Structure 1
Amino acid sequence: MLDKNIYSTVLSQAFSPCGQYLLAGNIYGQIAVFDLNRLLNPVVELLTSDYNKPKHIHNILTGKQVCSLLSTENNLIIGTAGEIISYEWSSITSSKLGKPHWQVSIPSKVPVEQQDVNCLWLSEDKETLFAGCGDNNIYSFTLETVSLKLKYLGHDDFIHCIDGKSDQLISASEDGSVKLWDTRTGKSHNSIEPHSNSNVARPDIGKWVGAASLSDDWIVCGGGPRLALWHLRSLDVVTVFDIPDHGIHVSFFHDDCVVAGGAAKHLYQLSYSGEVKVELPVSATTVYSAVMRTSPDKVLAIAGSSPDIDLCTTFNYRDQILRFR
């Protein structure tokens, strides 16, 4: 029988707040739980051939994808088709998965249509959950009561990515726009269209924007258009990054660098001026998820169109390959 996991794609990842576990979600509705303590501090005498495989695999969503994952102090939050589901950590990290802590459906005008929850972001005060969805909208929920707070209208196609800083939210969409929102009002106050800039546009790949991230002074975004650094206040392009990709799906800021990946052979760490500081080889032909933590120790996990997840502890090279199978 054909092993479907050989052809799996890992869409999302998250670290547990205790730092012990890496969670990964795939297109088959499964979540893998990797024990990082065992992986990063192995007892050589006790190593077996399956040491790099998950401690547990939970079959959570039959016929649905695990589109997005978000870690909070008490829960793992899962975005999938038509709903957001939350499990307590004690349930996720045990061998037998219990019942969800809570579930909330994404509003839909057509009941039979279930729109994917492609991305999740938690406000800096940990009180508001944001969800970017396949119905072109962003929703915010009061986390304490899991009640709908605001609906963000303005995109003409589905949302690929959301990120935030203080009272600002940024979103990247298939419609080719990157919008800035005021989280207090739910209104968009600025936007850019990278495909309209001749230095950034790549018409052969498309106008879609797959990733966007926000800092105090900068926006980094890319997709069909080239990965580029934009000044937040002027919305001018400052740096166009010259990397050999065929579409960007991941971008974020880390230590005065930009980390980015997508349809390329590497995950890149780039200076704001455009210098390539690190080229990390990746197992996937397309990277859909890269998550990084710096405490209690450094870990970077890279996943995408492969059941293999690359694990790095110095951010400069690949230490191990984890097997989601």
Structure 2
Amino acid sequence: MPEISNRKLFYNTIFCQTFSPNGKFLIAGSLYGDVSVFDLLKSFEPNQIDNYDYQAPIYKFTAYVNQCVQSMVTTDDFLITGTSGEITGWDWKIVKSNKASRKNISWTIQIPTDKDTSEKPDVNSMVYSKEKHLLYAGCGDNKIYDGTVKFWDLRNLEHTSTLTPSLNGQISRPKLGKWIGAVDFTEDWLLCGGGPSLSLWHLRTMETATIFDLPDEGIHVASIHDERIIAGGCMPAVYHLNYQGEVLAKVPTSSKTVYSIVHCEKPQKILSISGSSNNIDICTNFNYREFILKFA
């Protein structure tokens, strides 16, 4: 039995992470449907940083049977997880008290399936609006690989414009496809990448400002944070770059492919990286890896 367990951990993939509302706990979801809960305050104790055996979760629970945890997000009251065809809410009080299980789910939302198929849509991404108390879920419907970035006006729920990065010959990478794996934006800038190279666009003109030269085979996560670009994907490192494309830092990762990068400012500045590994890389000054957590 231990041999089977070790083999599963060798092939484990951690698709998603989030922090508790107070920033004291890190939550991660895996390929096997499990969720691990880490007490970050204990992990950062001076005498524990170098204690590899201690860098395990305080506990883990099974969120989904025979399905992976594909996405997660935090609200003040709930940890929300997503899988094929379902979004699930878990009360933070229960999660932090080491008692979460399938028996005490707070609520679930079943994602409608297309009438022409019985296949359940994946819940690939979720975003929560604190101002409107709305949860937005991006779900797979076998039409998501068209390579477009669409803009929506949330005031009237109307689609306003479309950008197709792969139409730019300098950005297109035909051997990787035209799918978009990551998008972020500010008032002035749009950042996106996937099969096409990671690129930065002027929102007002919809013209390319920077095409980032990275050694990736596909971008899965990218964000704009503190006037820098943070990006990861099919490469064993997370890159920090400025808007002009210059590398500010290269952080080697436990994962050969990175699927999740999350950061928190309080009570301590933390950047957490996960992907195709049982390990989670923790950075505090964002420029190097300080220590590693193990999912299980």
TM-score, normalisation: structure 2? 0.94
Q: How many residues align?
A: 289
1:179 aligns to 2:182 (yes or no): no
Q: How many angstroms does 1:224 deviate by?
A: 0.6
- Output the CA distance in 1 between the equivalents of 2:210 and 2:52: 46
Moved more, 127-136 or 77-86: 127-136
Paired residue for 2:10?
Answer: 6
Q: How many angstroms does 1:95 deviate by?
A: 2.4
Structure 1 residue aligned with 2:211, among 227, 231, 240?
A: 240
Q: Deviations over 1:282-310 (max 9, x none)?
A: 11000000001112211000000111110
Counterpart contact for 2:70–2:125, Cα < 8 Å: yes
Distance 1:92 1:126, change over 3 A: farther
State the SS of the aligned residue for 2:278.
Answer: strand
State the SS of the aligned residue for 1:41.
Answer: coil
Counterpart contact for 2:22–2:266, Cα < 8 Å: no
1:259 aligns to 2:259 (yes or no): no
Paired residue for 1:34?
Answer: 38
1:38-187 map, 5 Å = 38-43=42-47, 50-98=53-101, 99-110=104-115, 112-135=118-141, 157-158=143-144, 174-187=145-158
Q: How many angstroms does 1:50 deviate by?
A: 2.3
Gapped regions of structure 2 (runs ≥ 5) = none
Q: How many angstroms does 1:265 deviate by?
A: 2.2
Q: How many angstroms does 1:314 deviate by?
A: 0.8
Distance 1:182 1:9, change over 3 A: same
Gapped regions of structure 1 (runs ≥ 5) = 137-156, 159-173
- Output the CA distance in 2 between the equivalents of 1:253 and 1:124: 20
Structure 2 residue aligned with 1:25, among 26, 29, 32?
A: 29
Letter in 2 for 1:223: G
Percent identity over the alignment? 43
Q: Deviations over 1:239-274 (max 9, x none)?
A: 001111110000111011111110112101111111
Paired residue for 1:200?
Answer: 171
Paired residue for 1:221?
Answer: 192
Letter in 1 for 2:248: K
TM-score, normalisation: structure 1? 0.86
Moved more, 256-265 or 47-56: 47-56
Moved more, 278-287 or 85-94: 85-94
State the SS of the aligned residue for 2:15.
Answer: strand
Paired residue for 2:294?
Answer: 323
1:189 aligns to 2:160 (yes or no): yes
State the SS of the aligned residue for 2:204.
Answer: coil
Q: How many angstroms does 1:124 deviate by?
A: 4.5
Q: How many angstroms does 1:186 deviate by?
A: 2.1
1:314 aligns to 2:288 (yes or no): no
- Output the CA distance in 2 between the equivalents of 1:266 and 1:73: 32
Q: How many angstroms does 1:24 deviate by?
A: 0.3
State the SS of the aligned residue for 1:50.
Answer: helix
Letter in 2 for 1:64: Q
The list of structure 1 runs, each at least 4 consecutive aligned residues, that deviate by more than 3 angstroms after superposition, is 46-49
Distance 1:49 1:277, change over 3 A: closer
Structure 2 residue aligned with 1:282, among 253, 262, 273?
A: 253
Q: How many angstroms does 1:47 deviate by?
A: 8.4
- Output the CA distance in 2 between the equivalents of 1:263 and 1:204: 14
Q: How many angstroms does 1:89 deviate by?
A: 0.7
